[in-house]
Structure formats: structure tokens, C-alpha cells
Structure 1
Amino acid sequence: MEVWTFHHPEQGTIEVERGTDDEFRECYSSWPEAPGTAGDEEMGNALRAKQGKSPLRLQVTVNGEVRRRLRSVPTGRVPLQRHVGEKLSSVSSATVHRDKPHLHIQSNWRDDILAIDYREGPDIVEFDPPPGSRGEARKQAMESSSFKRVAIPLATGLGRAGWALSVIILGPLVARLIGWLLSFLPDWELPPLPPLPQVSLPLPQFPQPPQVSLPVPAWPSISVPEPPEWVLFLLEYSKVWIPVVIGIVFGIVALRNHRRSERKKQEWQEETRIDAPSTEPRAKITPPASTGAPACPTGRNAAG
């Protein structure tokens, strides 16, 4: 089981657990209820089902209290309010209030968690990924150079809008391939169909309405200047550059959120140093990662 842990100075310990049904049943006797629960049509779980593997679930706890149980690993916002149904529940990002505490989870098509942020209004703080996870490898790659810090989120943004680029680039190639294949087919000519019989029906004569001529105002002629060439180019190839702009914006936003997260962690560390006695060692807001995730986080075992 993969466990992402975050220590908030007011909320407490927030844990995001990602694992299979069997892994969760070792810790919770009542969840998941049975294998093959409905709602495994997401791409990651559908692929795992074809491979004969157990689907991946997600659970969010705050100080050991279960807040959310999801049937798959989402990409988007997950609230932290106390609301858990008896069965697996799904959360729509549109229903999450951005001013209230919530998590923003980023995952890939294989349901691997790439990053988790704690968000509350303007505050954004990043989780430290657990050791050995794909999120840790991604974070280490981003911290290895300033170029990768921008390039990796940029590639993620392009991946979200890359379908448009693939259609634009591959569309003409597929059309040429289809035309080339059709060139090998013989030209078939269908025999002409017999002409249809002509039917003439009498039409009634209706009286013509009176002709009314309305005055037409004389509008002044306005000459619109010819747009420059670069404007015409952008209008013609808007489907190409718009996904690129979306990817650039996504990368810039990710870089800005990282800087805001670092500033917020620094503020919490300064507050902790002021409140702590001088004889005690300085506390850290985010403790160092453990050597491995336990089978049941925080000692839970068949808690239900």
C-alpha cells in the first residue's frame, strides 16, 4: 500500500492511502465490501482488470478518521469534510469549495499518484511523496535542474491537450493512407437507374399580396483594414498553438504553486520555531520520509 502523509499544524495528520482491495481488507474489515465493485470503468482500473489484477482504491484520513473512500485514483480536487458513505463514493471536483480545506491529486493514466497538494483558499502546500513511489521519482527529476522543474509540468499540460495535436498531425497522414489504400480498389460503375415517372399536379392559384417598398437607410461605408499576416496565421492554425499555450500555462502555474508551497512551509517552520522553547530542538513541519510504508498505516488493523 502506498501512503502519502502530510502534517498540518491545525488539521493534524492527513494520509492518502492507495492500494488494492486485498491491501485495504487487511486493515479494514468492512471496506471494500466485495471484489468487482461497480465503477471500475476508469482507464487505470479497466486496464488492471484486463490483466487480471485487483483495482486500485483511494482513502483519505485525517488524524486516523476516514474522510473519503474512492473507487479509483482521481485527478482533481477531493474535499476533507467529514462525509463517508457505506459504499465506495465518487467526488466531483466541481462540488469542492476552493476556500475550504481540500486536496488536489494529480495522477496518470495508470492510476499512479504523481503529486498531492493541500489547498485552502490561497494556501498551497505540497505533500512529500513516499519513498519508492512514482511521485518521488518525478519530484527528484524536477529538483535535479531548473529546466526539468518547468519542462515536466509543461509536458503534463501538453499531454492533457496533446490529443488535439495528435489529431492535427496524424489526421492528414491517415487521410493519405486511406486514399492510398483506396487506389488499389477497382473502379466499379453502377448501371444507370431507370428514370422516375414524371407526375404533374395542378397547383391552386392564390392571390398575390400587395408589394410594399420600405425605405432602406444609407449606411456609411466602413473600410476594415487587412489584418497582419501573423494574425491570419494564428487564426488558421489555432488548433495547433492553443494546446501549446495550454501546456505553457499549466507549467507556469505548477511552478508558481511550488514556490507558494515552499513559502508556506517556511512560514510554518518560523512559527514553530517561535512557539517552541529554546531548550528543545527545532521542530519540522514535514518529517523525513520513513523507510517503507507499513501494511496498515498508523497501526490500523481490521478497524472497519
Structure 2
Amino acid sequence: MKNDDVEHWSLKHPEFGLLELFIGEPDALRRIDPDFPTSSKKTDADNSTEPEAQEVAEGDVEDEGASTKEDSEKFLKKLAEKLDDLDKKRQLLVRRDGVTIARYKSLENQKIDLGKSDATVKAGKYGGEMTLSAPYLGWTSNFLDSWMIEVKVKDDEGVVVFDPPEGSRAAKRWEAMEESPFKRWFYPLITGLGKGGWALAVIVLGPLVSKLIAWLLSFLPDWDINIPWPDINLPSIPWPDINLPSVPWPDWHMPEWMEPILRVLAFMADYSKVWVPVVIGIVVGLMAVKNNKKSKERKAKWQDEQVDGDQADSGQTDS
């Protein structure tokens, strides 16, 4: 289906049929699905204009030897693309064999249940059959949910990744990963880090910011404010004197080699909300590289089976 206003992802799965995702503004999606909800003047969530950690990190990875002029042109081009993305109110339409199975107001990460062949969504409504277990159709968008990074199907045999549409941001990202072994690992890693990367940056930059604030506050006058709080005499409670038996605990001293380990454990306990997403991000990045390799092998196998099937059908027709 040709529509310049819509980004079209598709995959022909041997078990789940033709799976399609259409990304665009509501008016454009309504040309594909007449029952798609009409756009509202006030969106449910305002798009932020803050730069995304993932996009900034990925965009900063350039090949060595590029001139300053080329860097400036690339920067302006990427900035224009990001501003254009933020201005658009993209929504999502999901279809299976031509039947609408989900509609969403944003590109926020979701997983659609593929185990129910008759799952549909009501006309003029958003929603879909979400799940956490395979088989499912899932996708990953960028931090601002302004463009799609990856779409995949997970079944009993593993993960199959959709080929990104030609000319899309995802296709350019994929081409960059194919050309550079470093980006092949770095991009999925940054995607997996997500908000954990921002939290890690806060830990690193936090002390510098606090010193800057303290330096600025040093220029403010020292106000001495005394509040005449009332003097309240609370009654004393005669607690009973209880003599507990003494326990002869063994005299044990912690070995010196354990001190660095305890410092690390104390840091991890204090910043668990930071390092847990970071570790998850690293695992997600490594799994993405592994899944992409297996995905290519499975899609190549499907193509070979399709060719063999077509040849068999042709042979029967000739006979």
C-alpha cells in the first residue's frame, strides 16, 4: 500500500500471516483504516523539545576525518529532522492479514498478543490485546516516541526483526550499523540504556552541579532568621529498667580485602534505581545484536522455503 504520509512496516510470517504497522497522523491512517479515531485538537501528552540521550549519543558517532563544514551540515540536517519529528503527532495502526488488531495514540513500546487469531479492536477505538509472553508482535521507539526504531515478532523459535521501510530513520540507523562494527554494538546498547543512561549522567554530573549551586549561593547575603518557637514541657515517662543478658559474641575483625567490596555494595544499594536500568540496557544491547543475526538466518530460510514451494507448484502445473 503506497502512502507517502505513512511509514509502513511489514513482515510475512509463515504462522501468523502478514503483519503490518502503519505510522502516521490520524488523517493519513484513516485512509487505510476508515474506523481509525479522529484526531483531537488537544493531545494526551505534549511532546518535549529536550534532546534525546539516545539520538544525541548515536548522532555524535561520526567517522573520523570529516570536515567541520560537513559536520555542521549534518548537525543542521539532523536538527531539522528532529524538529520535524516533534511537530508531528504520529499514531499507530497494526493489522494482521488486512484486519485491524490494534490502534495507539503514540509509538510507546507495546507487545501485541499473536496467540489470538480473532483479536480485533472496536471501530473508532484505541487499544489492542497486550501481553508479556510469546507469541507477540512488539516494537521499540525512541525516547520521545517520535519515531520507530525496531519492530519484531517473538515466537517459540525466537525473535524475527522486521526490515525497516526504505528511507525511514530506522533504515538509516540500520545502514549505519551495517557499515560500522562499533555502531552495530553501540546503537542497540544506547537504546537499551534508555532512561538508565540519563540517570547515570545525573550521578556523574550531580557533584559538579551541586558545587556550582553552592558557589552561586555563596554570593547571597547571610540572613539570620530567629523564629520564637514556644517552649513546651513534655511529661517524662518512667520506663522500666530491664537487664538483658549479655551474649558472648566472638571477636571478629573484617579482613582488609573486603573493604572495597563493601564500598561497591554500598554504592549499589544507594543507587539501585540507576545501575539496574544500566545493566538491563547492556543485556538488551547484547541480545539485540544476537537477535538480529538469528533473524536474518530465519528470514533467509523462509525465502528458500518459499522458492522451493513455488518451484514445486510450478512442476505440478507443468506435469
Instruction: State the TM bucket, normalised to the shorter chain.
Output: 0.7 to 0.9
Please say if residues 196 and 275 of structure 2, whose CA atoms lie closer than 8 Å, have aligned partners that are also in contact.
Answer: no
Change (3 A) 1:84 1:279: closer
**Structure-2 residue corresponding to 1:17:** 22
RMSD: 3.7
CA distance in structure 1 between the aligned counterparts of 2:214 and 2:206, rounded to whole angstroms: 12
CA distance in structure 2 between the aligned counterparts of 1:43 and 1:6, rounded to whole angstroms: 30
Shift of 1:252: 0.7
TM-score (norm 2): 0.70
Change (3 A) 1:185 1:77: same
**Structure-1 residue corresponding to 2:171:** 136
CA distance in structure 1 between the aligned counterparts of 2:233 and 2:195, rounded to whole angstroms: 60
Match of 2:197 among 137, 153, 162: 162
Alignment of 1:49-64 (within 5 A): 55-64=89-98
Shift of 1:212: 6.1
Stretches of structure 2 lacking an aligned partner (at least 5 in a row): 1-5, 52-81
Are 1:258 and 2:288 counterparts? Answer: no
Give the counterpart letter for 1:171 in structure 2. G
**Structure-2 residue corresponding to 1:296:** none
Please say if residues 71 and 88 of structure 1, whose CA atoms lie closer than 8 Å, have aligned partners that are also in contact.
Answer: no
**Structure-2 residue corresponding to 1:277:** 311
Shift of 1:117: 0.6
Larger displacement relative to structure 2 (80-89 or 67-76)? 80-89
**Structure-2 residue corresponding to 1:85:** 122
Q: Report % sequence identity.
A: 35
Are 1:68 and 2:68 counterparts? Answer: no
**Structure-1 residue corresponding to 2:248:** 218
**Structure-1 residue corresponding to 2:218:** 183
Alignment of 1:110-149 (within 5 A): 110-149=145-184
Change (3 A) 1:44 1:121: farther
Q: In the TM superposition, what whole-angstrom CA distance separates every residue of 1:137-157 from its partner, at most 9, and x where no partner exists?
A: 011111112222111111222
Shift of 1:116: 0.5
3-state secondary structure, aligned to 1:168: helix
Change (3 A) 1:215 1:20: same
TM-score (norm 1): 0.73
**Structure-1 residue corresponding to 2:72:** none
Please say if residues 106 and 145 of structure 2, whose CA atoms lie closer than 8 Å, have aligned partners that are also in contact.
Answer: no
CA distance in structure 1 between the aligned counterparts of 2:92 and 2:149, rounded to whole angstroms: 14
Shift of 1:136: 0.5
Change (3 A) 1:184 1:269: same
CA distance in structure 2 between the aligned counterparts of 1:220 and 1:234, rounded to whole angstroms: 27
Give the counterpart letter for 1:83 in structure 2. T
Change (3 A) 1:42 1:185: closer
Q: How many residue pairs align between the two structures?
A: 270
**Structure-2 residue corresponding to 1:234:** 264
**Structure-2 residue corresponding to 1:26:** 31
Larger Rg, first or second structure (1 or 2): 1
Give the counterpart letter for 1:9 in structure 2. P
Please say if residues 99 and 120 of structure 2, whose CA atoms lie closer than 8 Å, have aligned partners that are also in contact.
Answer: no
Change (3 A) 1:64 1:171: same
User: Between Structure 1 and Structure 2, which shows a larger proportion of helix residues?
Assistant: 2
Are 1:40 and 2:70 counterparts? Answer: no
Please say if residues 40 and 55 of structure 1, whose CA atoms lie closer than 8 Å, have aligned partners that are also in contact.
Answer: no
Larger displacement relative to structure 2 (104-113 or 134-143)? 104-113
Stretches of structure 1 lacking an aligned partner (at least 5 in a row): 282-304
Change (3 A) 1:15 1:52: closer
Change (3 A) 1:170 1:212: closer
3-state secondary structure, aligned to 1:4: strand
Change (3 A) 1:142 1:185: same
